[in-house]
């Protein structure tokens, strides 16, 4: 045995394979796993063609790979190492052959990216491994030495599935990409439907899971959805759907969209097909109806940013889990829970997932619903509430409801219209009066621009980009607090929802401070964070961040393609975000940027710049003109703002490269603010909006008898108690002016006073805690960047 072979024997060898249906993001997952294995000083292998590759074996199917093998995979759809069904592996004989093939290749551990069936097969393989390898030894197919070396096989799973049907994880790799395809298709369908006043029945994938149909229904304002977890009533679904569609049409809607999950059933488990729905819409309602079955379009194409990010982070964690595993460690599944990458027992997760289908088969639909992720039922209730919003007549609103004002503050962000739409439709469904303040506080003071929002007016807003009611950066103090207070009194606002970024946070705090002097501000007020910078304290996520990230990612993919078409070229891409490096960091991870600079790390040091230039030179030298070798350098606009702009940085890189490469500046600018909101921003906007309105209701005038705080709030507003001018009393109402923050998968209300005073860096316009900072280390490690 040579020294090199001896050294290899000491290194752990880890293989990765993809199995089951392909899903966007699988390539990102494999890339992350391969490069993390190499970073951990282990040997990386890929198994081609899924379980079929395990059974066939040999160097054509079980390949050792290097760092460059997975270059460029982030932006590619499908799975480059293939996936295939394998009947042989379902039999013990096939698994015995697979066992021998892994031993022959020198594999110690296996990571499988796939759905519940693929992961079940993986865990079965591990559980049988001791008996399989013993049989190979007893029949002299392998030596005792090899038996001792490979007698334990550790397995880890990552979930690649567009259905988002795996229990114990909030999202599966590929689900949001599939949702993006669906929403894009329905947006296109809606346009042609509007032209002809047609109805469209759209079938989406999902098998026993209605997540895609439900989320698409919310994101596109569909008229009706069919999902297996809440089956239609056998004898009444035709009547119910007809009533809703007829009402929507009578109230001014020209289009009808009905979404059918492929596993849709009635409560007697009879399938409901697109043809069944078509017969009702065309036969009973005389609508010009078309059927669109999206099929495998939903699986295709490049992954959206979210899937690239979670696939990458889960790949890193999968390798860590394998390295830390012992023979006694149960096979782990890498999940995402509350925005954190976690490890779950693989077989427990698979068993829970399979129990959903069992519950549906047993007609225990409540149990099936409970086994979905924590947001599923909430999303369904939200959809049903908003879908009934056109039932309420204007006179019913003013008689019993609250006057709820809606205002946008700050720069436009994807999802602002979705939030306003959801606030409005939910308000209408609950009998409230939604009032839009157009063009921010300046618009209010200058033009008294307050107008009621109607159901007909809101049609189509859920999927619109920009900001239909306008937005403005001016705070109340800049616009005139006294004038604003008088107008609040004039319009008799009972609650206020602010949608916006850091200026919105400052505005809410100013209104809170002014409560002592102006009783009209003594109403419940809530902020929904919305800014591509994602720099609002008190939340991990702001509306618009996902839309901006996807726009930037698509821009970078195109720029990188251009760079790879020219020998040895890098692009310096300037990224918006103010003093926040969130967008730069996530884009760096999603696009595989070689270098990124963010404001949080201070000025770009000469030493780091020298190191980065050398790294680029080495990379281009290693490439030797191979394809897919364009390089990206991402620079946040405010990173070393006084010293380096993107053009200057590009010139310096070119000058110092000594001919090894050249660099150009690329500035996407406000492309990052525009475009249609992503499905994630649309659906999150809906969830945040409805929670915000419920917060206003909690402290609203109709809850005065139930809530002591609401009673005090409204008593002080109308001067009915001795507390009217008491600052002490105003302090008691701190909790009624709050920021609605996303912490993991949970939504939390935190008083703006607390956030403003303890969690905010007011000078830098940033939260004090940077929750995404750890991602920078991962992004650098996966491109081989060395830090000073």
Residue 615 lies inside a defined structural domain of this protein: yes
Mean pLDDT of the region 641-656: 92
According to DSSP, the residues that pair with 440 across neighbouring strands are none
Residue that is last in its domain, among 339, 357, 375: 357
Residues 75 and 206 in one domain: no
State the alpha helices, DSSP H only, in 674-720: 679-698, 708-717
Give the C-alpha separation, 642 to 787, whole Å. Answer: 22
In sequence order, the 6+-apart residues with CB closer than 8 A to the CB of 195 are none
Residues 397 and 261 in one domain: no
Residues 647 and 683 in one domain: no
Kind and range of the H or E run holding 784: none
State yes or no: pLDDT of 9 exceeds 70: no
Specify whether the CB–CB gap between 475 and 507 falls below 8 A.
Answer: yes
Give the C-alpha separation, 18 to 20, whole Å. Answer: 7
pLDDT tens readout for residues 110-124: 999 999 889 999 989
Residues 681 and 668 in one domain: no
Long-range contacts of 768-772 (CB under 8 A, 24+ apart): 768/537, 770/600, 771/540, 772/540, 772/582, 772/585, 772/586
The whole-number pLDDT of residue 64 equals 97
Query: Is 534 labelled a binding residue?
Result: yes
Residue that is last in its domain, among 277, 298, 319: 298
CATH value at residue 491: 3.40.50.450
Query: Is 671 labelled a binding residue?
Result: yes
pLDDT tens readout for residues 424-438: 999 999 999 999 999
The whole-number pLDDT of residue 717 equals 85
Residue that is last in its domain, among 298, 320, 336: 298
- Residue numbers of the domain that contains 468: 391-542+677-767
pLDDT tens readout for residues 728-778: 667 778 899 999 998 877 899 999 999 999 999 999 999 999 999 999 999
Residues 565 and 659 in one domain: yes
On average, the pLDDT of the chain sits at: 92
The tally of domains found in the chain comes to 4
Query: Is 198 labelled a binding residue?
Result: yes
Residues 525 and 403 in one domain: yes
Q: What single string gives the DSSP state of each residue in 724-767? A: TT-HHHHHHTGGGEEEEEEETTEEEEEEHHHIIIIIEETTTTEE
CATH value at residue 610: 3.40.50.460
pLDDT tens readout for residues 153-168: 999 999 999 999 998 8
Interstrand relation of 450-452 and 433-437 (parallel, antiparallel or unpaired): antiparallel
State yes or no: pLDDT of 394 exceeds 70: no
Grade residue 67 by pLDDT with cuts at 50, 70 and 90. very high
Query: Is 162 labelled a binding residue?
Result: yes
Residue 651 lies inside a defined structural domain of this protein: yes
Share of residues in the chain with pLDDT > 90 (%): 82
Residue 556 lies inside a defined structural domain of this protein: yes
The whole-number pLDDT of residue 3 equals 46
- Report the catalytic residues: 163
Query: Is 761 labelled a binding residue?
Result: no
Mean pLDDT of the region 463-469: 94
In sequence order, the 6+-apart residues with CB closer than 8 A to the CB of 301 are 24, 77, 177, 181
Give the C-alpha separation, 675 to 465, whole Å. Answer: 6
In sequence order, the 6+-apart residues with CB closer than 8 A to the CB of 661 are 568, 569, 570, 616, 617, 620, 631, 653, 654
Query: Is 480 labelled a binding residue?
Result: no
Residue 364 lies inside a defined structural domain of this protein: no
Give the C-alpha separation, 305 to 550, whole Å. Answer: 6
Give the C-alpha separation, 340 to 170, whole Å. Answer: 10
Residue 343 lies inside a defined structural domain of this protein: yes
Size (the chain), residues: 788
State yes or no: pLDDT of 240 exceeds 70: yes
With H, G, I as helix, E, B as strand and everything else as coil, classify residue 573.
strand
Residues 396 and 529 in one domain: yes
Give the C-alpha separation, 26 to 80, whole Å. Answer: 9
Residue 433 lies inside a defined structural domain of this protein: yes
The whole-number pLDDT of residue 446 equals 95
Residues 8 and 154 in one domain: yes
Token duo for residue 764: 């830098």
pLDDT tens readout for residues 687-727: 999 999 999 999 987 787 778 888 888 888 887 644 445 55
The whole-number pLDDT of residue 5 equals 52
State yes or no: pLDDT of 491 exceeds 90: yes
Share of residues in the chain with pLDDT > 70 (%): 96
The whole-number pLDDT of residue 723 equals 45
Query: What radius of gyration do the chain's Cα atoms show?
Result: 28
Q: In 10 A of CB 233, how many CB atoms?
A: 12
Mean pLDDT of the region 118-139: 94
Specify whether the CB–CB gap between 154 and 325 falls below 8 A.
Answer: yes
Residues 99 and 184 in one domain: no
Nearest residue to 544 (alpha-carbon basis) of 690, 419, 385: 419
Residues 627 and 523 in one domain: no
Residue 684 lies inside a defined structural domain of this protein: yes
CA dihedral 186, 214, 181, 78 (to 10 degrees): -160
pLDDT tens readout for residues 293-306: 999 999 989 999 99
Query: Is 205 labelled a binding residue?
Result: yes
Mean pLDDT of the region 34-40: 98
Query: Is 163 labelled a binding residue?
Result: yes
Residues 8 and 121 in one domain: yes
Query: Up-side HSE of residue 157: CA atoms within 13 Å toward CB?
Result: 34
Phi first, then psi, for residue 202 (nearest 5°) are -115, 120
Residues 522 and 479 in one domain: yes
Residue 786 lies inside a defined structural domain of this protein: no
Query: Is 116 labelled a binding residue?
Result: yes
């Amino acid at each position: 045995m040579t020294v090199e072979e001896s050294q290899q024997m000491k290194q752990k060898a880890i293989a990765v394979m993809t199995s089951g249906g392909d899903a966007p993001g699988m390539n990102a997952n494999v890339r992350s796993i391969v490069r993390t294995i190499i970073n951990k000083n282990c040997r990386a292998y890929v198994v081609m063609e899924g379980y079929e590759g395990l059974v066939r074996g040999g160097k054509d199917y079980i390949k050792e790979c290097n760092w460059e093998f997975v270059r460029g995979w982030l932006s590619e759809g499908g799975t480059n190492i293939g996936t295939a069904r394998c009947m042989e592996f379902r039999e013990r004989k096939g698994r015995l052959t697979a066992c021998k093939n892994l031993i022959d290749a020198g594999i110690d551990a296996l990571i499988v990216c796939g759905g519940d069936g693929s992961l079940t097969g993986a865990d079965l393989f591990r559980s049988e491994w001791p008996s399989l390898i013993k049989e190979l030894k007893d029949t002299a197919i392998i030596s005792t030495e090899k038996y001792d070396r490979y007698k334990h096989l550790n397995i880890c799973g990552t979930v690649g599935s567009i259905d988002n049907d795996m229990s114990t994880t909030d999202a599966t790799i590929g689900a949001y990409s599939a949702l993006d395809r669906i929403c894009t298709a329905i947006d296109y369908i809606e346009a042609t439907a509007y032209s002809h006043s047609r109805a469209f029945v759209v079938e989406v994938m999902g098998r026993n899971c209605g997540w895609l149909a439900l989320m698409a229904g919310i994101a596109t304002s569909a008229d009706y959805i069919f999902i297996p977890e809440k089956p239609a009533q056998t004898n009444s679904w035709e009547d119910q759907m007809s009533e809703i569609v007829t009402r929507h049409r009578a109230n001014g809607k020209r289009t009808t969209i009905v979404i059918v999950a492929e596993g849709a059933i009635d409560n007697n488990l009879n399938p409901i097909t697109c043809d069944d729905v078509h017969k009702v819409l065309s036969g009973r309602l005389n609508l010009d109806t078309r059927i669109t079955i999206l099929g495998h379009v939903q699986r295709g194409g490049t992954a959206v940013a979210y899937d690239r990010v979670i696939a990458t982070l889960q790949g890193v964690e999968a390798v860590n889990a394998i390295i830390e595993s012992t023979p006694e460690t149960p096979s782990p599944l890498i999940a995402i829970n509350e925005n954190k990458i976690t490890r779950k027992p693989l077989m427990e997760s698979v068993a829970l997932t399979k129990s959903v289908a069992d519950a549906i088969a047993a007609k225990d639909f409540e149990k099936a619903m409970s086994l979905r992720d924590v947001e599923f039922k909430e999303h369904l209730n939200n959809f049903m509430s908003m879908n009934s919003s056109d039932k309420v007549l204007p006179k019913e609103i003013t008689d019993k409801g609250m006057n709820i004002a809606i205002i946008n503050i700050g720069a436009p962000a994807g999802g602002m219209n979705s939030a306003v739409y959801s606030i409005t439709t939910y308000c209408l469904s609950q009998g409230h009066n939604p009032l839009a303040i157009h063009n921010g506080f300046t618009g209010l003071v200058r033009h008294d621009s307050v107008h009621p929002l109607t159901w007909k007016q809101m049609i189509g807003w859920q999927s619109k980009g920009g900001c239909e009611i306008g937005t403005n950066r001016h705070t109340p103090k800049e616009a005139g607090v006294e004038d604003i207070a008088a107008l609040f009194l004039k319009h008799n606002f009972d609650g206020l929802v602010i949608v916006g970024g850091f200026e919105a946070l400052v505005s809410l705090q100013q209104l809170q401070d002014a409560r002592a002097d102006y009783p009209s501000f003594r109403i419940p007020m809530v902020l929904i964070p919305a800014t591509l910078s994602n720099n609002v304290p008190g939340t991990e996520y702001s509306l618009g961040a996902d839309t901006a990230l996807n726009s930037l990612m698509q821009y970078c993919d195109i720029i990188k393609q251009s760079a790879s078409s020219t020998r040895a070229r890098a692009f310096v891409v300037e990224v918006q975000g103010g003093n926040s490096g969130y967008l730069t960091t996530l884009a760096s991870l999603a696009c595989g940027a070689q270098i990124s600079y963010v404001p949080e790390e201070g000025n770009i040091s000469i030493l780091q710049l020298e190191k980065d230039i050398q790294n680029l030179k080495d990379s281009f030298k290693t490439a030797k003109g191979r394809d897919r070798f364009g390089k990206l350098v991402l620079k946040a606009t405010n990173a070393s703002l006084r010293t380096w702009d993107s053009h200057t940085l590009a010139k310096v890189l070119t000058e110092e490269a000594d001919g090894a490469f050249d660099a150009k500046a690329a500035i996407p600018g406000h492309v990052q603010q525009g475009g249609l909101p992503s499905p994630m921003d649309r659906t999150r906007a809906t969830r945040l909006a409805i929670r915000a309105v419920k917060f206003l209701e909690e402290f609203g005038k109709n809850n005065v008898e139930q809530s002591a705080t609401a009673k005090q709030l409204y008593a002080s507003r109308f001067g009915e108690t001795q507390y009217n001018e008491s600052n002490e009393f105003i302090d008691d109402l701190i909790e009624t002016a709050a920021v609605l923050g996303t912490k993991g998968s949970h939504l939390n209300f935190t008083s703006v006073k607390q956030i403003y005073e303890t969690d905010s860096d007011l000078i830098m316009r940033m939260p004090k805690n940077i929750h995404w900072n750890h991602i920078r280390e991962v992004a650098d490690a996966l491109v081989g960047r060395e830090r000073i």
